[in-house]
Each structure stands twice: as C-alpha cells, then as structure tokens.
Structure 1
Amino acid sequence: MASTGVIPGRQPSWLLTDLYQLSMSSVYHAEDMDREAVFELFFRALPSSRNFVLAVGQQDCLEAMSRFQFGADEIDWLRSLERFPEDFLQMLSRLRFTGDVYAVPEGSVVFPFEPVIQIRAPLIQAQLMETLLLNRIHAQSVIASKAARIILSAGDRPVMDFGARKAQGGEAALNLAKCSWIAGASGTSNMEAGHYLDIPVVGTMAHSFIQTFEDESEAFRRFSKHWPETTLLVDTWDTLRGVDRVIDLIRESDGTSAPVSAIRLDSGDLLTLSIQARQKLDEAGLDHIKIVVSSSINEYRIRALLEQGAPIDAFGVGTEWATVPDAPTLDFAYKLSEFDGLPRMKASTDKVTWPGAKQVWRHWRGRRMTRDLIGGHDETVPEGATALLRPVMESGDLLPGAVNSLNQVREHARQELAALPETLQNIEPAEPYPVSVSPALEEARRQIQARFMDER
C-alpha cells in the first residue's frame, strides 16, 4: 500500500495543546457559546529569502483530527489539576471532531494571507485544533520550502537527504525525509523514513570506515566487495590520491561486477577538487563514474558550483535543510474569521486579518500561475480561475481524495513548482507574486473596522 506520509502510531495526545485553549474552551462551555465558528490558518509575510511557501502537513492533521479523542488518563490528569469544572471534563471525554474542513492540497504553493486550511466546527472543537495545526503545518512547510529551493537550484541533478543526524529529534528527522521527498529529493539516508514512508533509501560510507583500516586502498576493496556499484568517500586523507586509488580498484576488478559507481567529496574546495577528480576519471576512461558532493550544501553553494562549471552529478544535503538557518520560522497564524454566522476580524497593528470564511482563486496563463485573488467563500468563482481550498472533511469524516499517497503529493508539488513564474523559481528575492483581495472582502473589513472604531 502506498504511503500517505502519515507515520503509523503517530496519533498525538490531545494534550498537545496550550493551556489557554482549554481555559477558553471551559468558558465557552460554561457560557453556552459552543456555536459554529470558522478558523483559518495562514501566514502573514514571506521571509526575505523566500519567494513562496510549499504547504505541507495538512494530511497529517486531517488524519489526527479524524481520530480526535481525549484518553481517560488525560482526563484524569486534567482533573488532578483542579482547574476545570467536572461537567467540562465530562464533555471533553465525549468530544469528537464533527466539523467540516477545507484545505489546499498538500504540496501546494501558497502566498501571504491565503488560508492553507479552514475549519468550520463548533467553537470548542475548532479552538482545540489550533496547536496541532500550527505545530504540524508550520514545521513541515518550513522544511519543504527550503528543500524546494535547494532542489530547484540543482536543476536536473539528484539531491539526497542526509540530514537525520542534524535534525532536532526523531520526529523532525522523519518530517525532513518526508518534506524533502515531496519537494523532489531523490531519496533519504534515514532508514526509519524508508520503512514507514516508503521513500527510497540511499547512502555511501563514513570516514570512520576508512579510518579503521591501515590502508585506504584496502578499505575501498573490502567495502566494494560487499557493496558493488557503491559510492566511495575519497577525502579521508588526500582527496586526489583517494581518486587514484578508486581508479586502481576499478582497473583491478575481474569484470564480473562494477565495484564503484561514484565517488563522494565531503570537504575542501569542492569546485577545484571536482574538476580535478573528473579529469582523472575521464583520463582513465571512467567517464561513467559519477561525482557526488556533500559538506554544508545549500541552494547558494549549489548555484555557485554549477555556475562555475563544477562537474558534479549529485548532491547530499544535511544540516541546511534539517535546521533551515536562513528562514527557520514562517509567520503562521490560526485566526477566527467567523462566529455564529457573523464575520470576525482582528484589528491589531501589523496583525490585521480579513473577516469571514474565505476562498482563494488562482489565475493561469497556460500552465503558469499568474495571480491569486482572496475573496469570500461564497463569492462567484472568477472566470478562468481555480479554487485552492477544497472540501476534505464533512461532519468529521474524511472525504474521498482528501488524503493522497506520498508519491501523489510529490507529483502535485512538482507540478506546482513548475507552474511558478520563472522569477519565483530563482533563489534570489523576486518581485512578489500578485495576490489581491476582492472588493467584497475589502468592504466587509471596512464596515467591521468602522463599527469597531465607533464602539471605541
């Protein structure tokens, strides 16, 4: 069965929430306010080093929401705090998610203020989803957006995930493998991700293997004996001498199997060393042997190497997309947009939101996206545009097609990235993608702001 990217047994404790969610919910319960609400998750602004966000994590959230239930031990623990009324705890013990959900498909390109997921549910249910949604979608979208940039910079050269050792915990390592695969990586070194997510596993060898032998040639010989068609790490001592020893090993082989398919460079001047290694291999008649590089690889280093003509065939990336040092956060928020049939908004300085349930319509020229329009959910669909938010849950049940296989998500992300305007595919900051707001939404916000100011 094809993986959906949801890790078995990963159902969260519904205590993965902030205290204030439960504090507010207890008041809503006591005041009989549990009427229908609409909440939307979006981000306010792009980091300066981003031209788009690749939204990932929605399916993970949908699976969790479909199994929403506080466990008896969790209710007992809440009771032990002596903070919450017993009738509220009894209500929580019976609570299930019964709402409707709209979401952009996992692996979609999104821009500021565009809802990634929209929850329509009784107020308490919708409120209690906040921490889960922000936690899952924020973390995975940060990684996926970085991975997409790195993969776009590599062109048609494979990029492999080597980042598990630098990820911030085991779940983060799995998210990294998943998100980089969605963004277009060729595989992962993380065996757990291979097992649970059915992502191709890839890998070479460590310097420690070479160091356990007195002779580098013997280390190469022993490893390739057990792992023919392998990639040998040549920079433990002298990189170019290591290349020579790989050439000697191939010449010594009996021809029954190819002992080596590639060499890996993991330190030093990767431009000069890749050129010199390529020259040695070609002069030995080994132009089929690939060159793989790793060592602090990111989109800028890839671009610089390729622009300078480095004969590199593939990249292994670890720390840069495991930690995302240039944009480790996105300004995601989860805000109330409608309650009890009336539009709601926030008017705080620099954090103003748009009122009412919304839809995003994307306009196209051929296969290229050209501009987006944010409008009211029930507004007429503009001619030639496609709606980004799609129904994925109804009355708490997942709808057909709501959760796709990981490979289907990967293909959707590939199409989305290919449909970006060419300027946005560049890793340098570009003119922002055009996103406008409908006149009806503008008027709704003006009216609410005027009423708010009058009341003040």
Structure 2
Amino acid sequence: MSDVTTTDLYEVTMALSYLREDMRAPATFSLFVRDLPPGRGFLVAAGLEPALDFLARYRVEREDIQTFAAALHRSPKDLEPLLGLTFDGEVRAVPEGHVVLAGEPLLEVTAPLPQAQLVETYLLNQLCHQTAVASKAVRCVLAAAGRPVVDFSLRRTHGPWAGLQAARLGALVGFAGTSNVAAAGALGIPASGTMAHSYIEAFPDEEEAFHAFARTHPGPVTFLVDTYDTDAGVRTAARVLNEIGRGPGCAIRLDSGDLGELARRARATLDAAGLPDVRITASGGLDEYAVADLVRSGAPIDVYAVGTKIGVAADAPYLDAAYKLVEYDGRPVMKLSSAKVTAPGRKQVFRNLTHPDVIGLWDEEPPDAARPLLRTVMRGGRRTGAPDRWEYAQARCAHDIAALPAPARSIENPMPLRAVRSRALEDLTKRVREEIETRFRARPPGVAANAGPSITRGLGHR
C-alpha cells in the first residue's frame, strides 16, 4: 500500500477540485493540539522524523491514481490532474523531544494548496500517535525517579510498526532499553529481556530451569521467580547464582502480586545470601501511576519494565489535534465554528524558561530572552539538515522536563501549563474575525454562501 494513498478520501476530492479551479497559491496549515488530555500537564513533541521522510518521498504515481479512481468510482483519467504531484513546500516544526502545550503548533506546512491538503491525514496520524505515546512514556521516567525504565510493549501495541515507534519513543524520552529486537537493531537502542513463565514450566523445577538458562547465557542473567511460589523462587535463584558464581549484573524479575511487598522480601533474601548487587526488576501491567506508588512506598525495585499501558497510551490514547488552514495566498484565514475557533496566520512559539510560552506570528521579534521553538526543517520539499537522531531528541527532552515546574510534572493531578498569545496575534485574530462577521452581515438575505468570493479566499490584506 502506497503512503500516498494512506489518506482520507476527502483529501483527494478537495485536492482534485483545487487543481481544476487553479487554486495553487501557497497555503499554510497549522497542526496543533486543542486541549491537553486529562492527566497531562504537558506533551512531548514526537513523530516529526517519519513525517519528514514521508514528505520528502511524496509523489503521486499512476498506481495511486488507480486507487483513488477506484475509491471514487471514477475513471482514472478523471484523476490524472493529480498524477506526478510531489511535495515541494516548506515545513517549520518543533523538533522532537521538546515539551509542547495546547494551542502551540507542532508543525506548520506552507505549500501549494493541493499539496498541503493531500498530506494532512498522514501528518496527523504520525504526530498525534507518537506525541501521545511519548507523553505517556516520559511520565514513567518521571515516576521512576532515576531508576531505569525498559520498554516491553511490542506484544500489546497496535501492530509491529507501532511497536517500533513505541521503542523509539521510549528511548527518546529516556528509557534504558527495549525488548523489541528489531527496534534495538535498527535504532541502536539497548536490547533487554529475560525469560517467560513457559520456560520455567518446561523444566521439572525452577532450579533446573535456572541452571539451564545460565549454561546457555554465560554473562549476567535475570531469573523470573514468580512462576509458582515467589518467595521460594527467590531463594532458588539466590542459591543458583551462588553456585554458579554470579552476582553483579544479574537480577531477578517479579511479574505479579504485591510487587512492593514481594520486592522487600526478595531484597532481604538476596542480601542474606550475600547477593546485595543482584537487582530486582518489576513488570506486569505497570504504568506511571503504579511506578509512582512503588517508588513512594520505598519498594527496593531497581528496574521497571513497562509495556501494555504505555505502548497504547492507555489512559489518553488520542489527542484532540487539528490541521487547519491559517493562510492562503498571503491572506490570513480562520475558522469560527463553536468550540473550534482557530487563530489566523503563520505562527511561532517563543519560549522563556521563566515565563509562559508565547504563541505569536512567525515574523514577530521574540520577547526579551525568549527563543523561537519552531525551526525550518524542510524547504523546497527537501530537509534543511541531516535527519535528527533519537539521542538528540532525548537530550532536548531531558532539558525541557528539568525546566518544568513541579506541578506540571506531577503524576497525580498535574497542573497543565498554558501558553499565552502575543498582542500581534490577538490583533490579527480580532481583525480577521471582524472581516468575516462583516462579510456575513453584508450578504443579502437568501444569497448563498457560494454566490460571491469565498470567506476563506476573501479575507485579510487586499
């Protein structure tokens, strides 16, 4: 399936109409999140890199035309105005890893109107899903309070590609590793894994299973100890580790039950056996709330393995995001629908760590000591620099998270940060709104909206 045809049908119908109407002037679309999901004090921008890959290779081929025509029950000849269309526009975006807030553009596209329209669905898909997962994952890092967190989400994500994304996003926000072998190999993320209960069950008893595993893996090993009786499993693991002369770097894993209490008893057993360096890993349906509770209780857990609830961002699996036209042919435009009003014009976000973010116009001078957040990452359909790496995004994420006020970082009932608008943006919004309202008041009763120039095309500077 072509990435070009990975789109909503109405993108195709609109783009075709724009081409037939010769509406090819530059259009700017802004992609932003209207409101933060409940339980979030901030978001972490993610998904830009695959979005740029998509735009850089975008080209409507004849096979795509045939797919579009079949969906519309039209002759392929009718869709030929789209043939050969590529993306040769500009993209300004927030680099991955940065903290973003409601209303702030994650990305703005400026390109000929048909191009900018056709790429909407794919861009929303990539940035929304990945920002949601990254924003969930980073909360696990915060909850773990410096303890390593590992991604175990692949078997629960919505498809293998989503699992690869989850592993990358975990690394981007500070996870120590992933169980996903493909992601580890492709992205250079440390691989991490132990054994399953089925491995233990396949042997006559735990002790034989642990010895067999150690024979195959001569380095540090992690033994899963809760297949039968957890306390007995810890004692067996300690005995085997002493018998084979291994300690530092090895671990046991707890996967069920009262993890806090079991970890305390396991720590006491390991210490009494002379194995103070053997770590305790916890897994089993964990999310940031469970991790925070365990850390707060003082549970002696050294590593947290998180999966199901993180890979699908279980408590906030989607973002109320939009991709809205804000300028066409040099004229700022906006939407006035109830509860979905948009702000006109191309934008910039100005960040000063000691003040609220300011959403302004793209050509404004930054407020004192503030820096612009959106960067030009594509021009003429080509990247302006080398592809970003998750390691760089990880550094940006760590920097931004450290600068957040504690109430926004809180796991329970965080206080969402809010951006403010610049005076210039407020003035433009007021003027464009007044022009729209004046145009509607001036229309004679009974005259259809399409009887004259469209609102979108007729706004702004003359």
What range is the shorter-chain TM-score in?
A: over 0.9
Counterpart position of 2:385: 400
Structure 1 position 58 matched with structure 2 position 29? no
Which AA in structure 2 matches 1:400? G
Indicate if the aligned counterparts of 1:163 and 1:321 stay in contact, CA closer than 8 A: yes
Counterpart position of 1:443: 427
SS of equivalent to 1:116: strand
> Which among 279, 283, 289 is matched to residue 300 of structure 1?
289
- Residues 226-250 of structure 1 deviation map (CA, whole Å, 9 limit, x = unaligned): 1231100000000010111112112
Task: Indicate how the Cα distance of structure 1 residues 35 and 277 shifts in structure 2: closer, same or farther if over 3 A, else same.
Answer: same
Structure 1 position 29 matched with structure 2 position 19? yes
Indicate if the aligned counterparts of 1:115 and 1:358 stay in contact, CA closer than 8 A: yes
Which AA in structure 2 matches 1:114? E
Counterpart position of 2:376: 391
Counterpart position of 1:155: 145
SS of equivalent to 1:334: strand
Structure 1 position 416 matched with structure 2 position 405? no
SS of equivalent to 1:15: coil
Structure 1 position 128 matched with structure 2 position 118? yes
Structure 1 position 249 matched with structure 2 position 251? no
Q: 1:323, 1:86 → 2: CA distance?
A: 38
> Which among 335, 338, 345 is matched to residue 324 of structure 2?
335
Q: 1:433, 1:111 → 2: CA distance?
A: 7
Query: Which aligned pairs between 1:11-26 and structure 2 lie closer than 5 A?
Result: 13-26=3-16
Query: Which aligned pairs between 1:205-354 and structure 2 lie closer than 5 A?
Result: 205-227=195-217, 228-253=219-244, 255=245, 258=247, 261-354=250-343
- Residues 410-436 of structure 1 deviation map (CA, whole Å, 9 limit, x = unaligned): 222222222222221211233332411
Indicate if the aligned counterparts of 2:18 and 2:114 stay in contact, CA closer than 8 A: yes
SS of equivalent to 1:380: coil
- Residues 190-227 of structure 1 deviation map (CA, whole Å, 9 limit, x = unaligned): 11111222211100000000000111100011001112
SS of equivalent to 2:352: strand
- Residues 243-267 of structure 1 deviation map (CA, whole Å, 9 limit, x = unaligned): 11112112222x4x55971000001
Counterpart position of 1:3: none
SS of equivalent to 2:353: strand
Tell me how far 1:56 sits from its aligned partner.
Answer: 0.3
- Residues 21-60 of structure 1 deviation map (CA, whole Å, 9 limit, x = unaligned): 1111111111111111000100000112000010100111
Q: 1:85, 1:28 → 2: CA distance?
A: 19
Tell me how far 1:175 sits from its aligned partner.
Answer: 1.0
- Residues 49-95 of structure 1 deviation map (CA, whole Å, 9 limit, x = unaligned): 00001010011111110111123222233344565676763332221
Tell me how far 1:297 sits from its aligned partner.
Answer: 0.7
Task: Indicate how the Cα distance of structure 1 residues 181 and 81 shifts in structure 2: closer, same or farther if over 3 A, else same.
Answer: closer
Counterpart position of 1:453: 437
Counterpart position of 1:374: 359
Indicate if the aligned counterparts of 1:270 and 1:293 stay in contact, CA closer than 8 A: yes
Task: Indicate how the Cα distance of structure 1 residues 280 and 384 shifts in structure 2: closer, same or farther if over 3 A, else same.
Answer: same
Counterpart position of 2:59: 69
SS of equivalent to 2:364: coil
Task: Indicate how the Cα distance of structure 1 residues 208 and 300 shifts in structure 2: closer, same or farther if over 3 A, else same.
Answer: same
Tell me how far 1:104 sits from its aligned partner.
Answer: 0.7
Counterpart position of 1:189: 179
- Residues 278-304 of structure 1 deviation map (CA, whole Å, 9 limit, x = unaligned): 011111111111000001111111111
User: Which 5+ residue runs of structure 2 have no aligned equivalent?
Assistant: 441-462
Q: 2:236, 2:42 → 1: CA distance?
A: 45
Q: 2:139, 2:119 → 1: CA distance?
A: 30
Q: May I ask how many residue pairs the two structures share in their alignment?
A: 439
Q: 1:426, 1:77 → 2: CA distance?
A: 48
SS of equivalent to 2:322: strand
Query: Which aligned pairs between 1:80-91 and structure 2 lie closer than 5 A?
Result: 80=70, 89-91=79-81
SS of equivalent to 2:324: strand
Indicate if the aligned counterparts of 1:34 and 1:124 stay in contact, CA closer than 8 A: yes
Tell me how far 1:164 sits from its aligned partner.
Answer: 0.5
Q: 1:451, 1:236 → 2: CA distance?
A: 70
Identify which range, 229-238 or 195-204, moves more after superposition. Answer: 195-204
> Which among 136, 159, 184 is matched to residue 146 of structure 1?
136
Q: 1:197, 1:260 → 2: CA distance?
A: 24
Q: 2:198, 2:71 → 1: CA distance?
A: 51
Identify which range, 275-284 or 405-414, moves more after superposition. Answer: 405-414
Which AA in structure 2 matches 1:389? L
Indicate if the aligned counterparts of 2:408 and 2:414 stay in contact, CA closer than 8 A: yes
Indicate if the aligned counterparts of 1:54 and 1:141 stay in contact, CA closer than 8 A: yes
Q: 1:290, 1:238 → 2: CA distance?
A: 19
> Which among 430, 433, 439 is matched to residue 417 of structure 2?
433
**TM-score, length-normalised on structure 1?**
0.93
Indicate if the aligned counterparts of 1:29 and 1:88 stay in contact, CA closer than 8 A: no
SS of equivalent to 2:275: coil
Counterpart position of 1:4: none
Indicate if the aligned counterparts of 1:293 and 1:312 stay in contact, CA closer than 8 A: yes
> Which among 335, 348, 360 is matched to residue 359 of structure 1?
348
Counterpart position of 1:6: none
Which AA in structure 1 matches 2:367? P
Identity %: 41
Tell me how far 1:313 sits from its aligned partner.
Answer: 0.3
Task: Indicate how the Cα distance of structure 1 residues 166 and 438 shifts in structure 2: closer, same or farther if over 3 A, else same.
Answer: same
